[in-house]
Structure 1
Amino acid sequence: MPVPPPSTAADHPRDAAQWFARMQSGEATGQDRQAFDAWLSANPAHGREYQRLRFLWDATLLVPQERLRGMLAQNAPVEMPPRTGLSRRRFGAGLAAAGALATVAFGANSLLRSPAATLTVSTRRGERRQWTLPDGSEIHLNTDTLAQVRFFEDLRQVTLQHGEILFQVTADATRPFVVDTGLGQVIVTGTRFNVRREADALQVSVASGAVQLRSGHWWNRSERRLVAGQQLIADTAHGFGDIHNANVGDIIAWQRGKIIFHDMPLAQLVAEMNRYLPHPAKLAARQLGAQRISGVFSIDDPTAMINALPVIAPVRLVHLADGSVRITAQ
């Protein structure tokens, strides 16, 4: 098999669209990746433009196939002279990808336009809040949550940075509702579901209706469909886990100011309590964490919540000077 000639500086793209096409083609070389890193480092604006194109590319997956083909058919092919040292096939793939992005960006979706409505929502540790969105949908934020809401003409989007949100989405088949978590997208037209995002994990639980989950790039995409009473957990190391049945009523009890546990390891219970406590509680010994606990706690009074722990578990609380709590065996 002939060996392709080494790439030179003249071969490397110089703008975000060309770099996006090259890096998503599946044929980027080690030299390409080094040049790409150098291009990103040269100007902070390069990274912003590249991330915007990634968003646009993912958005094309929300457009029905027939509609997308129609949009592409309206654009005549562009003839460009080949570059020295760059194969026609690779350059053609780049043009196709960039062309598809341009079609979505400036065609019917018009995602580069400013959204019709933008809202940043957040809660502090131990706080819960509720918002009604412009379409009548409701979002309920649990403790320590940050998200941005953007409404476009044909897309409703929530970017969940961290925390937990219970969604009650008003049905609109012409305008999908997308929750982007960084670890995956949750796509619906109207339903009730809970999304919890941590640093390296994502949990999606469906109370009514159904949701579609997507993760990964277009060339290696994973998809799952969840219906009422089902839950899926994903993490950065393994991607999507298995879909399993769950008591979603218990999961979303936080909206009513409760957390409910059934035969849960004490370590997991303490981690959950720490989401609401102003100062963390810690187990004095690792083996304590294996004890199984069941109970109902009020998150509206975090101090009472942790003080109730010795009533249902064989532990003792030691309150330290810095406000934290040390949990020891009785």
Structure 2
Amino acid sequence: MHGDSRTIEQAAAAWLARRDGDRWNASDDAALARWLAADTAHRVAFLRLQAAWDESGRLQALGAGWEGHAPPARGHWQAPPANRREQMLQAMAQRPAMARPVRRRRATRFAAVAMVAGCALAAAWGWRSHAQVDAASYRSALGEVRTLPLADGSRAILASASGIDVRLSRNARDVDLTAGEAIFEVAKDKQRPFTVAADGYRAVAVGTRFSVRRDAADLRVVVTEGTVRLDAPPAGGIAQPSALLPAGSVALVRGGNLLVRSLPLAEAKQLLDWRDGLLAFRDAPLGEVAAEFNRYNARKLVVGDADAGALRIGGSFRWDNEEGFARLLEAGFPVRAEVGADRIVLHSR
């Protein structure tokens, strides 16, 4: 049975910590091999931790502070395996090569703060006058995740290369998703439903947390808290029924057809891990994985042939480390990466 990414990564860390000890034997080797073969995500998580272990020295994988020039000998660490596992996971989360912060210029950050503050002041005046509409447009650059407090107390989180137009008034809260994807954390206000429009569809909430994403041909709504009503546009002048989406729902509109899936809440939340710099996949073809990376990076991942594109990938990866992902594929899959300045071509081998 598939586990979530955190559980899998903890298990991978435990295996690596055990293997570093002096009691490892042939039966342990066989047990590790069975665990790696059970799920692609197991192998990916283990390879990722092992790469950090090898690149940084075992010390940096287990915790910082070693003043020597060489990593300590195998078996040096005497802490209980559970503690060592947690130290390694924390160090992995902090390693610059695996978790580079999103690059933002200071001037842009100050300008964004100033613009949000100005919008908040204008909104406050509007509420007092009971007449003014607070209208604003927001955009995010390629590779940028942008968090925006809205004047009604809600919050919007824009994914890479995304945009929204916001209109807030005394009676309505209307948002148009013009590009990309955004998460909305909606302040409760039963008198003013919060509506997000995209491709003729309207996602309506009162107080909840959900995301809306639009691609060239698809629309996706993910609900992680509360309930969202999804209204479809009329067809041939005839009104279409609405769909109620409780927490854990994933609605996909493709070719005019609506498909709604119900996922465990933890899995639904993983679809929104991009806000924390991660992309989570569960048995996804490499072609789909590459397309997701390309939403966030100027240097594109290109699938070189059909065999490479059909490989199934599972696990969580930093979206700002496409080259590290390519090297991971080379280490654990029949893939050869051709690294260039503006693209990385993935070939089967």
Shift in Å, 1:188: 0.5
Specify every segment of 5 or more residues in structure 2 that has no aligned partner in the other structure, as ranges: 1-129
Equivalent pairs: percent with the same residue?
Answer: 29
Name the CA distance, whole Å, in 1 between partners of 2:131 and 2:180.
26
User: 1:120-177: per-residue Cα shift (whole Å, max 9, x none)?
Assistant: 1111111101011011101111111011111022110110011111110001000010
TM-score normalised over the length of structure 1 = 0.62
Q: Give structure 1 regions of 4+ aligned residues with deviation exceeding 4 angstroms.
A: none
In 2, the alpha carbon distance for the partners of 1:306 and 1:119 equals 39
Aligned residue in 2 for 1:163: 180
What per-residue deviation string (whole Å, max 9, x for no partner) do you get for residues 156-203 of structure 1? 011001111111000100001000012411000110011111121111
In the alignment, is residue 252 of structure 1 matched against residue 272 of structure 2? yes
Residue 310 of structure 1 aligns with which residue?
330
Structure 1 segment 1-330 matched on structure 2, within 5 A: 116-217=133-234, 219-235=238-254, 237-245=255-263, 247-320=267-340, 323-330=342-349
Give 1:244 shift: 3.2
**Distance verdict in 2 for CA 1:279–1:115, change over 3 Å:** farther
Equivalent pairs counted in the alignment come to 216
Q: How far apart, CA to CA, are the structure 2 residues paired with 1:289 and 1:114? A: 55
Counterpart of 1:149, as a letter, is V
Which residue matches 2:46? Answer: none
Shift of 1:286: 1.7
Q: What CA deviation, in whole Å up to 9, does each residue of 1:230-271 have, x standing for no partner?
A: 111002x23312333251121111111111112111111111
Give the secondary-structure state (helix, strand or coil) at the position aligned to 2:191: coil
What is the CA-CA distance between 1:220 and the residue it aligns to? 2.9
Give, in whole Å, the separation in 2 of the partners of 1:122 and 1:307.
32
Return closer, same or farther for 1:300/1:282 CA change in 2, 3 Å cut-off: closer
Gaps of 5+ in 1: 1-112
State whether residues 127 and 144 of structure 1, in contact with CA within 8 Å, keep that contact through their aligned partners in structure 2: yes
What is the Cα deviation at residue 115 of structure 1? 5.4
| Structure with higher RCO (Cα < 8 A, 6+ apart) | 2
Letter in 1 for 2:308: L
Q: Normalization by structure 2: what TM-score?
A: 0.58
> For the residues of structure 2 that align with 1:271 and 1:291, how far apart are their CA atoms?
14
User: 2: CA distance between counterparts of 1:183 and 1:313?
Assistant: 42
CA distance in 2, matches of 1:191, 1:149: 17
Task: Give the drift of 1:303.
Answer: 3.7
CA contact 1:279–1:325 (8 Å) conserved in 2: yes
Q: Match of 2:348, as an amino acid?
A: A
Q: RMSD of the alignment, in Å?
A: 1.9
* Contact kept in structure 2, 1:115 and 1:150, CA below 8 Å: no
Instruction: Judge conservation of contact 1:178–1:188 (CA < 8 Å) in 2.
Output: yes
Residues 280, 315 of structure 2: 8 Å contact kept = yes
Q: Structure 1 residue 225: deviation in Å?
A: 0.6
